Amino acid sequence: MTNTKTFGYVRVSTKDQNTDRQLVEMQKLNINERDVFIDKASGKDFDRPQYQALKAQLRAGDLLYITSLDRLGRNSDAIKKEWNELTQVIGADIIVIDMPLLDTRKYKDTMGNFVANLVLEVLTFMAQSEREKTLARQAEGIAVAKAKGKHLGRPQLNLNTLTKQQRVDLEANYQAWKVKEITGVKFMEKLGLKKNSFYKIISEYENSIEA
């Protein structure tokens, strides 16, 4: 078929993860850089901006490369639905680089389709199972941390968590601020605090010196 194009799709789950390994695979295939679509988003569904942009460009006969099936997604039913839409509705071919059996160009007969579909079933199940295990481990970690009384996420800022220098600056400038020799903005800058945190700390400090 003439005027067909080759695309690549790359996905990592978070902005901190590295796409280099997947991009190297795309470069080996000589895929034009502008035809490689990259998402840094969860694979739980297909509501991803670059994936949707890619899908809008795919036409019958085009080739789509992904390094592994879990880069396409992590939800078993969603992967199979999307796979069928790309291959059956749009008419594009998909090549999963690390799983040669998942190359829709090669398996057009009944037995070939059976084998490819079987592999797809197994791999989508594995992708979803891995996601469920990850979520379970995260939930267990949160539960353990809560049981130990640990605060999750950004540490709570209070009077006791101030650095030694912040405590010195607080005590040195508190009276000057109270008599309006320095502004609240200036005091906040000295302490390196934002407005909400500043007034929370001041309230705790005043309670401590009144006690």
13 in active site:
yes
Catalytic residue, candidates 13, 42, 68, 197: 13
Amino acid at 34: R
Q: What's the number of CA atoms in the CB half-sphere (13 Å) around residue 66?
A: 22
Residue 203 structure tokens = 């309230």
Report d(CA 22, CA 37) in Å as an integer.
11
Residues 6+ apart with CB under 8 A from 178: none
Find how far residue 85's CA is from the centre of its chain: 24
Catalytic positions are 13
